[in-house]
A and B are shown apart, each in its own frame.
Chain A
Amino acid sequence: MEDRLTLSNKFKILTYALMGVGVVSFALGFVFDAERTWANYLLNNYYFVSLAIGAAFFAAIQYITQSGWSAMFKRVPEAMVAYLPFAAVFFLILYFGMHSVFEWTHHEVVSHDHILQHKSPYLNVPFFFARVVVFFAAWIILSKVLRKLSLKEDEVGGMYYFQKSELYSKIFIFVLAFTFSLFSVDMLMSLEPHWFSTMFAGKSFMAGVLHASSIIALIVIILSKQGKFSLLNHSHLHDFTRYIFMSSIVWGYFNFAEFMLIWYGNIPEETSYFVHRWHGVYKILFFANIIINWAIPFLVLMPRKSSRSKLFMIPVILLLIIGQYTELYYIIWPATVHEVKFGLLEIGTFLGYAGLFSWVVGTTLTKASLVPKNHPYMEESIQHHF
Protein backbone atom coordinates (compact mmCIF):
# COMPACT_ATOMS: atom_id res chain seq x y z
CA MET A 1 0.00 0.00 0.00
CA GLU A 2 2.26 2.75 -1.27
CA ASP A 3 0.30 5.85 -0.49
CA ARG A 4 2.48 8.87 -0.92
CA LEU A 5 1.35 12.42 -0.73
CA THR A 6 2.37 14.77 -3.51
CA LEU A 7 2.10 18.47 -2.97
CA SER A 8 0.13 20.32 -5.58
CA ASN A 9 1.69 23.40 -7.10
CA LYS A 10 -1.19 25.41 -5.75
CA PHE A 11 -0.26 24.44 -2.20
CA LYS A 12 3.40 25.27 -2.77
CA ILE A 13 2.62 28.65 -4.31
CA LEU A 14 0.21 29.41 -1.50
CA THR A 15 2.75 28.62 1.23
CA TYR A 16 5.49 30.57 -0.56
CA ALA A 17 3.11 33.50 -0.92
CA LEU A 18 2.24 33.35 2.78
CA MET A 19 5.92 33.20 3.69
CA GLY A 20 6.48 36.20 1.44
CA VAL A 21 3.70 38.07 3.22
CA GLY A 22 5.38 37.20 6.51
CA VAL A 23 8.81 38.39 5.39
CA VAL A 24 7.39 41.65 4.03
CA SER A 25 5.41 42.26 7.25
CA PHE A 26 8.49 41.65 9.36
CA ALA A 27 10.66 43.89 7.18
CA LEU A 28 8.14 46.73 7.28
CA GLY A 29 7.54 46.11 10.97
CA PHE A 30 11.22 46.40 11.89
CA VAL A 31 11.44 49.67 10.01
CA PHE A 32 8.38 51.31 11.54
CA ASP A 33 7.76 49.75 14.94
CA ALA A 34 10.55 47.42 16.02
CA GLU A 35 9.28 46.73 19.55
CA ARG A 36 5.89 45.62 18.42
CA THR A 37 7.46 43.47 15.70
CA TRP A 38 9.63 41.66 18.23
CA ALA A 39 6.55 40.99 20.33
CA ASN A 40 4.95 39.52 17.21
CA TYR A 41 8.09 37.52 16.57
CA LEU A 42 8.00 36.02 20.05
CA LEU A 43 4.28 35.29 19.87
CA ASN A 44 4.41 33.49 16.54
CA ASN A 45 7.52 31.55 17.45
CA TYR A 46 5.99 30.39 20.68
CA TYR A 47 2.68 29.63 18.96
CA PHE A 48 4.18 27.20 16.46
CA VAL A 49 6.66 25.66 18.89
CA SER A 50 3.77 24.85 21.20
CA LEU A 51 2.06 23.12 18.27
CA ALA A 52 5.18 21.10 17.46
CA ILE A 53 5.71 20.17 21.11
CA GLY A 54 2.06 19.26 21.53
CA ALA A 55 2.34 17.02 18.46
CA ALA A 56 5.49 15.40 19.86
CA PHE A 57 3.61 14.73 23.09
CA PHE A 58 0.67 13.33 21.13
CA ALA A 59 2.92 10.94 19.20
CA ALA A 60 4.76 9.85 22.35
CA ILE A 61 1.50 9.20 24.20
CA GLN A 62 0.32 6.94 21.36
CA TYR A 63 3.43 4.77 21.74
CA ILE A 64 3.34 4.69 25.52
CA THR A 65 -0.30 3.71 25.74
CA GLN A 66 0.19 1.33 22.78
CA SER A 67 -2.84 2.87 21.12
CA GLY A 68 -4.09 1.06 18.11
CA TRP A 69 -6.53 3.56 16.66
CA SER A 70 -3.97 6.24 15.85
CA ALA A 71 -1.41 4.00 14.09
CA MET A 72 -2.68 5.15 10.71
CA PHE A 73 -2.15 8.84 11.42
CA LYS A 74 1.20 8.87 13.15
CA ARG A 75 2.91 10.54 10.18
CA VAL A 76 0.94 13.72 10.84
CA PRO A 77 2.30 14.50 14.35
CA GLU A 78 5.73 13.40 13.11
CA ALA A 79 5.50 15.96 10.30
CA MET A 80 4.50 18.69 12.75
CA VAL A 81 7.50 17.89 14.96
CA ALA A 82 9.76 18.48 11.94
CA TYR A 83 9.16 22.18 12.47
CA LEU A 84 11.40 22.17 15.58
CA PRO A 85 14.76 22.81 13.80
CA PHE A 86 13.30 25.92 12.15
CA ALA A 87 11.99 27.10 15.49
CA ALA A 88 15.42 26.58 17.05
CA VAL A 89 16.99 28.99 14.57
CA PHE A 90 14.22 31.52 15.13
CA PHE A 91 14.63 31.42 18.87
CA LEU A 92 18.37 32.03 18.56
CA ILE A 93 17.61 35.07 16.37
CA LEU A 94 15.48 36.34 19.25
CA TYR A 95 18.84 37.38 20.76
CA PHE A 96 18.71 40.58 18.70
CA GLY A 97 15.30 41.47 20.05
CA MET A 98 15.87 40.56 23.68
CA HIS A 99 15.83 44.15 24.89
CA SER A 100 12.54 44.87 23.20
CA VAL A 101 10.59 42.17 24.94
CA PHE A 102 12.40 41.08 28.10
CA GLU A 103 12.56 43.69 30.82
CA TRP A 104 15.17 41.75 32.81
CA THR A 105 17.81 42.12 30.10
CA HIS A 106 18.21 45.83 30.79
CA HIS A 107 21.15 46.38 33.14
CA GLU A 108 19.91 49.72 34.39
CA VAL A 109 16.54 48.20 35.36
CA VAL A 110 18.13 45.25 37.14
CA SER A 111 20.64 47.40 39.03
CA HIS A 112 17.78 49.35 40.65
CA ASP A 113 15.65 46.33 41.36
CA HIS A 114 16.40 44.10 44.29
CA ILE A 115 14.08 41.30 43.20
CA LEU A 116 15.53 41.14 39.70
CA GLN A 117 19.05 41.05 41.12
CA HIS A 118 17.96 38.14 43.23
CA LYS A 119 16.64 36.36 40.15
CA SER A 120 19.60 37.20 37.93
CA PRO A 121 21.47 33.90 38.47
CA TYR A 122 18.64 32.32 36.48
CA LEU A 123 17.41 35.19 34.35
CA ASN A 124 20.52 36.32 32.50
CA VAL A 125 21.19 36.37 28.79
CA PRO A 126 23.97 33.71 28.51
CA PHE A 127 22.13 31.18 30.66
CA PHE A 128 18.88 31.96 28.85
CA PHE A 129 20.40 31.03 25.50
CA ALA A 130 22.23 28.07 26.97
CA ARG A 131 18.81 26.78 28.02
CA VAL A 132 17.32 27.44 24.59
CA VAL A 133 20.16 25.48 22.98
CA VAL A 134 19.90 22.57 25.43
CA PHE A 135 16.12 22.34 25.17
CA PHE A 136 16.03 22.41 21.40
CA ALA A 137 18.94 20.01 21.13
CA ALA A 138 17.13 17.53 23.39
CA TRP A 139 13.83 17.87 21.51
CA ILE A 140 15.36 17.67 18.06
CA ILE A 141 17.62 14.71 18.84
CA LEU A 142 14.88 12.69 20.51
CA SER A 143 12.32 13.45 17.84
CA LYS A 144 14.80 12.57 15.10
CA VAL A 145 15.51 9.25 16.81
CA LEU A 146 11.80 8.50 16.97
CA ARG A 147 11.28 9.50 13.37
CA LYS A 148 14.17 7.30 12.25
CA LEU A 149 12.80 4.31 14.17
CA SER A 150 9.40 4.90 12.66
CA LEU A 151 10.80 4.99 9.11
CA LYS A 152 12.93 1.93 9.77
CA GLU A 153 9.81 0.10 10.90
CA ASP A 154 8.26 0.80 7.51
CA GLU A 155 11.07 -1.12 5.82
CA VAL A 156 11.64 -3.96 8.24
CA GLY A 157 8.51 -4.47 10.32
CA GLY A 158 8.23 -6.56 13.43
CA MET A 159 7.91 -5.57 17.04
CA TYR A 160 11.51 -4.53 17.66
CA TYR A 161 11.22 -0.96 16.40
CA PHE A 162 7.89 -0.45 18.06
CA GLN A 163 9.29 -1.42 21.45
CA LYS A 164 12.28 0.79 20.90
CA SER A 165 10.01 3.70 19.95
CA GLU A 166 8.03 3.12 23.10
CA LEU A 167 11.17 3.30 25.21
CA TYR A 168 12.31 6.53 23.56
CA SER A 169 8.82 7.97 23.90
CA LYS A 170 8.99 7.36 27.63
CA ILE A 171 12.30 9.18 27.81
CA PHE A 172 10.96 11.94 25.59
CA ILE A 173 7.89 12.55 27.68
CA PHE A 174 9.92 13.06 30.85
CA VAL A 175 12.37 15.33 29.07
CA LEU A 176 9.46 17.24 27.58
CA ALA A 177 7.69 17.73 30.89
CA PHE A 178 10.78 19.22 32.46
CA THR A 179 12.14 21.25 29.55
CA PHE A 180 8.90 22.64 28.19
CA SER A 181 7.88 23.82 31.66
CA LEU A 182 11.09 25.80 31.95
CA PHE A 183 10.76 26.92 28.34
CA SER A 184 7.31 28.42 28.85
CA VAL A 185 8.55 30.09 32.04
CA ASP A 186 11.50 31.56 30.13
CA MET A 187 9.58 32.75 27.13
CA LEU A 188 6.27 33.91 28.55
CA MET A 189 6.38 34.20 32.32
CA SER A 190 9.69 36.08 32.40
CA LEU A 191 8.09 38.81 30.31
CA GLU A 192 6.88 40.04 33.66
CA PRO A 193 9.83 39.07 35.79
CA HIS A 194 8.27 40.07 39.11
CA TRP A 195 5.29 37.84 38.66
CA PHE A 196 5.20 34.09 39.17
CA SER A 197 2.63 31.36 39.08
CA THR A 198 3.15 27.66 39.63
CA MET A 199 0.23 26.81 37.36
CA PHE A 200 1.73 28.65 34.43
CA ALA A 201 3.92 25.89 33.00
CA GLY A 202 1.14 23.30 33.26
CA LYS A 203 -1.34 25.63 31.64
CA SER A 204 1.01 26.48 28.77
CA PHE A 205 1.78 22.82 28.18
CA MET A 206 -1.91 21.89 28.15
CA ALA A 207 -2.61 24.74 25.73
CA GLY A 208 0.05 23.26 23.46
CA VAL A 209 -1.49 19.78 23.66
CA LEU A 210 -4.98 21.15 23.07
CA HIS A 211 -4.09 23.13 19.98
CA ALA A 212 -1.70 20.55 18.60
CA SER A 213 -4.30 17.80 18.80
CA SER A 214 -6.83 20.00 17.07
CA ILE A 215 -4.32 20.83 14.31
CA ILE A 216 -3.54 17.12 13.90
CA ALA A 217 -7.26 16.45 13.50
CA LEU A 218 -7.55 19.33 11.03
CA ILE A 219 -4.67 18.04 8.89
CA VAL A 220 -6.15 14.54 8.88
CA ILE A 221 -9.56 15.92 7.85
CA ILE A 222 -8.02 18.06 5.09
CA LEU A 223 -6.04 15.08 3.77
CA SER A 224 -9.12 12.89 3.85
CA LYS A 225 -10.96 15.50 1.77
CA GLN A 226 -8.08 15.19 -0.72
CA GLY A 227 -8.79 11.49 -0.99
CA LYS A 228 -6.09 10.30 1.38
CA PHE A 229 -6.80 8.32 4.55
CA SER A 230 -9.67 6.57 2.84
CA LEU A 231 -10.02 4.35 5.90
CA LEU A 232 -10.80 7.26 8.18
CA ASN A 233 -14.10 6.57 9.92
CA HIS A 234 -16.27 8.21 12.53
CA SER A 235 -14.63 6.33 15.36
CA HIS A 236 -11.27 7.85 14.49
CA LEU A 237 -12.86 11.29 14.42
CA HIS A 238 -14.43 10.59 17.77
CA ASP A 239 -11.02 9.74 19.22
CA PHE A 240 -9.53 12.95 17.87
CA THR A 241 -12.40 14.83 19.41
CA ARG A 242 -11.75 13.12 22.71
CA TYR A 243 -8.22 14.49 22.73
CA ILE A 244 -9.49 17.99 21.98
CA PHE A 245 -12.29 17.68 24.52
CA MET A 246 -10.07 16.26 27.27
CA SER A 247 -7.25 18.75 26.87
CA SER A 248 -9.73 21.59 26.61
CA ILE A 249 -11.19 20.64 29.99
CA VAL A 250 -7.74 20.26 31.57
CA TRP A 251 -6.67 23.60 30.13
CA GLY A 252 -9.83 25.26 31.43
CA TYR A 253 -9.22 23.74 34.83
CA PHE A 254 -5.62 24.95 34.97
CA ASN A 255 -6.55 28.39 33.72
CA PHE A 256 -9.25 28.71 36.33
CA ALA A 257 -7.03 27.30 39.08
CA GLU A 258 -4.35 29.86 38.29
CA PHE A 259 -6.76 32.76 38.35
CA MET A 260 -8.76 31.51 41.31
CA LEU A 261 -5.78 31.02 43.63
CA ILE A 262 -4.32 34.41 42.80
CA TRP A 263 -7.69 36.08 43.19
CA TYR A 264 -8.31 34.37 46.50
CA GLY A 265 -4.80 34.79 47.89
CA ASN A 266 -4.85 38.47 47.00
CA ILE A 267 -1.09 38.92 47.38
CA PRO A 268 0.05 42.13 45.64
CA GLU A 269 2.96 40.67 43.67
CA GLU A 270 0.72 37.97 42.22
CA THR A 271 -2.37 40.04 41.53
CA SER A 272 -0.40 42.74 39.68
CA TYR A 273 -0.44 40.44 36.68
CA PHE A 274 -4.21 40.31 36.53
CA VAL A 275 -4.81 43.87 37.64
CA HIS A 276 -3.44 45.41 34.48
CA ARG A 277 -5.15 42.72 32.43
CA TRP A 278 -8.49 43.63 33.95
CA HIS A 279 -9.55 46.67 32.01
CA GLY A 280 -10.48 47.56 28.47
CA VAL A 281 -9.79 45.09 25.71
CA TYR A 282 -7.71 42.82 27.94
CA LYS A 283 -10.74 42.11 30.09
CA ILE A 284 -12.63 41.10 26.96
CA LEU A 285 -9.69 38.91 25.95
CA PHE A 286 -9.65 37.30 29.39
CA PHE A 287 -13.21 36.09 28.91
CA ALA A 288 -12.79 35.41 25.20
CA ASN A 289 -9.88 33.15 26.08
CA ILE A 290 -12.05 31.04 28.39
CA ILE A 291 -15.01 30.98 26.03
CA ILE A 292 -13.03 30.08 22.90
CA ASN A 293 -10.63 27.58 24.41
CA TRP A 294 -12.91 25.90 26.89
CA ALA A 295 -16.63 26.72 26.83
CA ILE A 296 -17.30 26.34 23.11
CA PRO A 297 -15.31 23.11 22.55
CA PHE A 298 -16.82 21.71 25.74
CA LEU A 299 -20.41 22.37 24.79
CA VAL A 300 -20.18 21.76 21.05
CA LEU A 301 -18.15 18.57 21.17
CA MET A 302 -20.06 17.00 24.06
CA PRO A 303 -22.89 15.22 22.19
CA ARG A 304 -21.84 11.95 20.60
CA LYS A 305 -23.19 12.96 17.21
CA SER A 306 -21.27 16.20 16.90
CA SER A 307 -18.06 14.66 18.20
CA ARG A 308 -18.10 12.22 15.28
CA SER A 309 -18.81 14.67 12.49
CA LYS A 310 -16.44 16.83 10.50
CA LEU A 311 -19.18 19.42 10.20
CA PHE A 312 -18.90 20.24 13.90
CA MET A 313 -15.20 19.57 14.32
CA ILE A 314 -13.88 21.94 11.65
CA PRO A 315 -15.46 25.16 13.03
CA VAL A 316 -14.33 24.28 16.55
CA ILE A 317 -10.78 23.63 15.35
CA LEU A 318 -10.68 26.88 13.38
CA LEU A 319 -11.91 28.67 16.48
CA LEU A 320 -9.19 26.99 18.56
CA ILE A 321 -6.55 28.28 16.13
CA ILE A 322 -7.74 31.78 17.01
CA GLY A 323 -7.96 30.67 20.65
CA GLN A 324 -4.25 29.98 21.03
CA TYR A 325 -3.50 33.35 19.43
CA THR A 326 -5.89 35.03 21.85
CA GLU A 327 -4.23 33.45 24.83
CA LEU A 328 -0.70 34.37 23.75
CA TYR A 329 -1.77 37.89 22.82
CA TYR A 330 -3.34 38.21 26.25
CA ILE A 331 -0.10 37.04 27.89
CA ILE A 332 2.46 38.89 25.76
CA TRP A 333 0.93 42.23 24.77
CA PRO A 334 0.29 43.80 28.20
CA ALA A 335 3.90 43.00 29.14
CA THR A 336 5.67 44.20 26.01
CA VAL A 337 3.64 46.54 23.83
CA HIS A 338 1.63 47.92 26.80
CA GLU A 339 -1.24 48.97 24.61
CA VAL A 340 -3.70 47.15 22.44
CA LYS A 341 -2.49 47.16 18.88
CA PHE A 342 -3.77 44.75 16.35
CA GLY A 343 -3.41 45.36 12.67
CA LEU A 344 -1.92 44.20 9.42
CA LEU A 345 1.44 43.58 11.10
CA GLU A 346 -0.05 40.93 13.41
CA ILE A 347 -2.05 39.29 10.65
CA GLY A 348 0.83 39.38 8.17
CA THR A 349 3.40 37.87 10.51
CA PHE A 350 1.01 35.17 11.64
CA LEU A 351 0.22 34.26 8.03
CA GLY A 352 3.95 34.09 7.28
CA TYR A 353 4.53 31.61 10.08
CA ALA A 354 1.41 29.65 9.14
CA GLY A 355 2.77 29.37 5.59
CA LEU A 356 6.15 28.16 6.78
CA PHE A 357 4.57 25.67 9.17
CA SER A 358 2.26 24.25 6.50
CA TRP A 359 5.18 24.04 4.08
CA VAL A 360 7.28 22.11 6.62
CA VAL A 361 4.40 19.78 7.46
CA GLY A 362 3.56 19.27 3.79
CA THR A 363 7.09 18.50 2.64
CA THR A 364 7.72 16.19 5.58
CA LEU A 365 4.53 14.29 4.80
CA THR A 366 5.71 13.68 1.24
CA LYS A 367 8.98 12.16 2.43
CA ALA A 368 7.46 8.93 3.66
CA SER A 369 4.47 6.76 2.97
CA LEU A 370 1.51 8.64 4.39
CA VAL A 371 0.11 5.54 6.04
CA PRO A 372 2.77 3.57 7.94
CA LYS A 373 3.35 0.20 6.33
CA ASN A 374 4.54 -2.20 9.00
CA HIS A 375 3.14 -0.73 12.16
CA PRO A 376 2.13 -3.61 14.46
CA TYR A 377 -1.19 -1.91 15.30
CA MET A 378 -2.10 -1.08 11.72
CA GLU A 379 -4.83 -3.71 11.50
CA GLU A 380 -6.40 -2.50 14.73
CA SER A 381 -6.34 1.04 13.42
CA ILE A 382 -8.12 0.03 10.21
CA GLN A 383 -10.74 -1.99 12.06
CA HIS A 384 -11.22 0.68 14.70
CA HIS A 385 -14.89 0.89 15.54
CA PHE A 386 -16.90 1.54 18.65
Chain B
Amino acid sequence: MSKKYILGVFDDEATLVDAFEKLKDKGVMPVEVYTPYPVHEILEGMPIKTRITHAAFFYGLFAALGILGFLTYAAVIDWPLRYGGKPFNAFPSFIVVTIVATILSITLLTLFTFSARAKVFPGKKAEIFHERATDDKFVMVFDEDGIANDSESLKAILTEHGKIE
Protein backbone atom coordinates (compact mmCIF):
# COMPACT_ATOMS: atom_id res chain seq x y z
CA MET B 1 0.00 0.00 0.00
CA SER B 2 1.51 3.30 -1.01
CA LYS B 3 1.50 6.21 1.40
CA LYS B 4 -0.32 9.42 0.68
CA TYR B 5 1.45 12.75 0.59
CA ILE B 6 0.42 16.38 0.37
CA LEU B 7 2.64 18.59 -1.74
CA GLY B 8 3.14 22.34 -1.54
CA VAL B 9 4.82 23.70 -4.65
CA PHE B 10 6.23 27.21 -4.47
CA ASP B 11 7.63 29.64 -6.97
CA ASP B 12 10.30 31.35 -4.88
CA GLU B 13 12.22 31.21 -1.67
CA ALA B 14 10.39 33.93 0.25
CA THR B 15 6.93 32.36 0.04
CA LEU B 16 8.33 28.94 0.86
CA VAL B 17 10.04 30.25 3.99
CA ASP B 18 6.88 32.15 5.00
CA ALA B 19 4.77 29.02 4.76
CA PHE B 20 7.44 26.96 6.48
CA GLU B 21 7.63 29.32 9.47
CA LYS B 22 3.84 29.48 9.74
CA LEU B 23 3.48 25.72 9.70
CA LYS B 24 6.31 25.31 12.17
CA ASP B 25 4.45 27.55 14.61
CA LYS B 26 1.42 25.28 14.26
CA GLY B 27 3.57 22.23 14.87
CA VAL B 28 3.32 20.76 11.40
CA MET B 29 6.58 19.61 9.90
CA PRO B 30 7.18 18.61 6.30
CA VAL B 31 8.93 15.28 5.95
CA GLU B 32 11.07 16.65 3.15
CA VAL B 33 11.69 19.93 1.34
CA TYR B 34 13.18 20.05 -2.14
CA THR B 35 14.84 23.28 -3.19
CA PRO B 36 17.04 24.17 -6.18
CA TYR B 37 19.70 25.50 -3.79
CA PRO B 38 20.25 25.28 -0.02
CA VAL B 39 17.82 27.54 1.82
CA HIS B 40 19.11 28.64 5.15
CA GLU B 41 15.93 28.84 7.17
CA ILE B 42 14.86 25.40 6.03
CA LEU B 43 18.25 23.86 6.83
CA GLU B 44 18.13 25.22 10.35
CA GLY B 45 14.42 24.75 10.85
CA MET B 46 14.10 21.11 9.89
CA PRO B 47 14.27 18.87 12.95
CA ILE B 48 16.91 16.70 11.31
CA LYS B 49 20.33 16.58 12.86
CA THR B 50 23.06 14.67 11.14
CA ARG B 51 25.40 12.44 13.09
CA ILE B 52 27.48 11.54 10.07
CA THR B 53 30.30 13.92 11.12
CA HIS B 54 30.75 11.98 14.34
CA ALA B 55 30.71 8.73 12.40
CA ALA B 56 33.34 10.15 10.05
CA PHE B 57 35.54 11.21 12.96
CA PHE B 58 35.51 7.78 14.51
CA TYR B 59 36.08 6.08 11.16
CA GLY B 60 39.12 8.34 10.76
CA LEU B 61 40.39 7.61 14.26
CA PHE B 62 40.07 3.87 13.95
CA ALA B 63 41.35 3.83 10.37
CA ALA B 64 44.45 5.79 11.37
CA LEU B 65 45.13 3.52 14.36
CA GLY B 66 44.41 0.42 12.31
CA ILE B 67 46.70 1.41 9.47
CA LEU B 68 49.51 2.40 11.83
CA GLY B 69 49.01 -0.89 13.63
CA PHE B 70 49.12 -2.82 10.39
CA LEU B 71 52.29 -1.07 9.20
CA THR B 72 53.97 -1.69 12.53
CA TYR B 73 52.91 -5.32 12.47
CA ALA B 74 54.12 -5.79 8.89
CA ALA B 75 57.41 -3.93 9.17
CA VAL B 76 58.44 -4.58 12.75
CA ILE B 77 56.86 -7.76 14.03
CA ASP B 78 56.08 -10.07 11.15
CA TRP B 79 58.77 -9.37 8.57
CA PRO B 80 61.52 -7.07 9.88
CA LEU B 81 63.58 -5.94 6.92
CA ARG B 82 66.35 -3.37 7.07
CA TYR B 83 66.34 -0.95 4.17
CA GLY B 84 68.09 2.36 3.65
CA GLY B 85 69.80 2.12 7.02
CA LYS B 86 66.53 2.84 8.80
CA PRO B 87 65.35 1.21 12.00
CA PHE B 88 62.63 -1.43 11.73
CA ASN B 89 60.14 0.91 13.26
CA ALA B 90 60.56 3.67 10.65
CA PHE B 91 57.73 5.68 12.12
CA PRO B 92 57.98 8.94 10.09
CA SER B 93 57.70 6.98 6.86
CA PHE B 94 54.45 5.40 8.05
CA ILE B 95 52.72 8.73 8.47
CA VAL B 96 52.24 9.60 4.80
CA VAL B 97 50.69 6.21 4.06
CA THR B 98 48.49 6.59 7.12
CA ILE B 99 47.20 10.02 6.09
CA VAL B 100 46.35 8.95 2.55
CA ALA B 101 44.79 5.64 3.52
CA THR B 102 42.82 7.29 6.33
CA ILE B 103 41.31 9.76 3.88
CA LEU B 104 40.33 6.90 1.57
CA SER B 105 38.79 4.92 4.45
CA ILE B 106 36.82 7.90 5.74
CA THR B 107 35.49 8.68 2.27
CA LEU B 108 34.40 5.15 1.48
CA LEU B 109 33.01 4.28 4.91
CA THR B 110 31.09 7.55 5.16
CA LEU B 111 29.68 7.05 1.68
CA PHE B 112 28.51 3.54 2.58
CA THR B 113 27.06 4.73 5.89
CA PHE B 114 25.20 7.54 4.20
CA SER B 115 23.86 5.26 1.48
CA ALA B 116 22.70 2.71 4.00
CA ARG B 117 20.97 5.30 6.18
CA ALA B 118 19.37 7.12 3.24
CA LYS B 119 18.45 3.76 1.66
CA VAL B 120 19.98 4.55 -1.71
CA PHE B 121 21.83 2.02 -3.79
CA PRO B 122 22.78 1.72 -7.46
CA GLY B 123 19.80 0.95 -9.68
CA LYS B 124 17.20 2.15 -7.16
CA LYS B 125 14.11 3.66 -8.68
CA ALA B 126 14.01 7.37 -7.92
CA GLU B 127 11.19 8.69 -5.73
CA ILE B 128 9.94 11.74 -7.53
CA PHE B 129 7.23 13.67 -5.74
CA HIS B 130 6.92 16.41 -8.28
CA GLU B 131 8.16 16.62 -11.84
CA ARG B 132 9.83 19.96 -11.36
CA ALA B 133 11.27 19.39 -7.88
CA THR B 134 14.64 18.83 -9.50
CA ASP B 135 14.12 21.90 -11.66
CA ASP B 136 13.33 25.44 -10.48
CA LYS B 137 10.43 24.81 -8.07
CA PHE B 138 10.41 24.63 -4.29
CA VAL B 139 8.49 21.60 -3.08
CA MET B 140 7.40 20.77 0.45
CA VAL B 141 6.28 17.22 1.12
CA PHE B 142 3.90 16.33 3.95
CA ASP B 143 3.04 12.87 5.13
CA GLU B 144 -0.76 12.67 5.15
CA ASP B 145 -0.88 10.09 7.96
CA GLY B 146 0.98 12.37 10.34
CA ILE B 147 -1.39 15.28 9.92
CA ALA B 148 -4.63 13.51 9.11
CA ASN B 149 -6.67 15.58 11.55
CA ASP B 150 -6.00 18.97 10.02
CA SER B 151 -5.07 18.43 6.41
CA GLU B 152 -7.70 20.97 5.38
CA SER B 153 -6.17 23.80 7.42
CA LEU B 154 -2.74 22.78 6.12
CA LYS B 155 -3.99 23.15 2.58
CA ALA B 156 -5.45 26.54 3.51
CA ILE B 157 -2.18 27.78 4.91
CA LEU B 158 -0.26 26.54 1.92
CA THR B 159 -2.62 28.30 -0.47
CA GLU B 160 -2.54 31.50 1.56
CA HIS B 161 1.24 31.56 1.44
CA GLY B 162 1.56 31.40 -2.27
CA LYS B 163 1.35 27.75 -3.11
CA ILE B 164 0.96 27.61 -6.87
CA GLU B 165 -0.18 24.06 -7.43
Q: How far is the CA of A264 from the CA of B57 in the complex (A)?
A: 30
A302 close to chain B: CB less than 8 A:
yes
Q: Which of A126-134, A255-263, A342-350 contacts B (4 or more CB under 8 A)?
A: A255-263
Given the contacts A302-B57, A385-B40, A260 and B85 also touching, CB distance less than 8 Å: no
Q: In the complex, what residues of A have CB within 8 A of residue B40's CB?
A: 385-386
Contact A263 B92 (CB under 8 A): yes
Set B53, B92, B96: member contacting A259, Cβ < 8 A = B92
Contact A264 B85 (CB under 8 A): no
Minimum C-beta distance from B30 to chain A (A): 22
| Chain B, 70-95, CB within 8 A of any chain A CB | 84-85, 92-93, 95
Minimum C-beta distance from A313 to chain B (A): 19
Contact B93 A264 (CB under 8 A): yes
Identify the closest chain B residue to A256 (Cβ): B95
Size of B's binding interface in residues, CB under 8 A: 9
Given the contacts A302-B57, A385-B40, A266 and B84 also touching, CB distance less than 8 Å: yes
Q: In the complex, what residues of B have CB within 8 A of residue A256's CB?
A: 92, 95
Q: How far is the CA of A304 from the CA of B96 in the complex (A)?
A: 27
| Chain B, 82-127, CB within 8 A of any chain A CB | 84-85, 92-93, 95-96
Majority-rule SS of B interface residues: helix
Q: In the complex, what residues of B have CB within 8 A of residue A386's CB?
A: 40
Q: Mark B36-69, 1 if CB is under 8 A from A, else 0.
A: 0000100000000000010001000000000000
Minimum C-beta distance from B48 to chain A (A): 15
Q: Mark A293-306, 1 if CB is under 8 A from B, else 0.
A: 00000000010100
Q: In the complex, what residues of A have CB within 8 A of residue B84's CB?
A: 264, 266
Contact B85 A266 (CB under 8 A): yes
| Chain B, 25-40, CB within 8 A of any chain A CB | 40
Q: How far is the CA of A126 from the CA of B41 in the complex (A)?
A: 63
Set A260, A266, A385: member contacting B96, Cβ < 8 A = A260
| Chain A, 71-129, CB within 8 A of any chain B CB | none
Q: How far is the CA of A70 from the CA of B84 in the complex (A)?
A: 50
> Could you write out 10 A-B pairs with CB less than 8 Å apart?
A256-B95, A260-B92, A260-B93, A260-B96, A264-B84, A264-B92, A264-B93, A302-B57, A385-B40, A386-B40
Q: Which 4 A-B pairs have the closest CB atoms?
A: A260-B92, A263-B92, A264-B93, A266-B85
15 more A-B contacts (CB under 8 A) besides A260-B95, A266-B85?
Answer: A256-B92, A256-B95, A259-B92, A260-B92, A260-B93, A260-B96, A263-B92, A264-B84, A264-B92, A264-B93, A266-B84, A302-B57, A304-B53, A385-B40, A386-B40
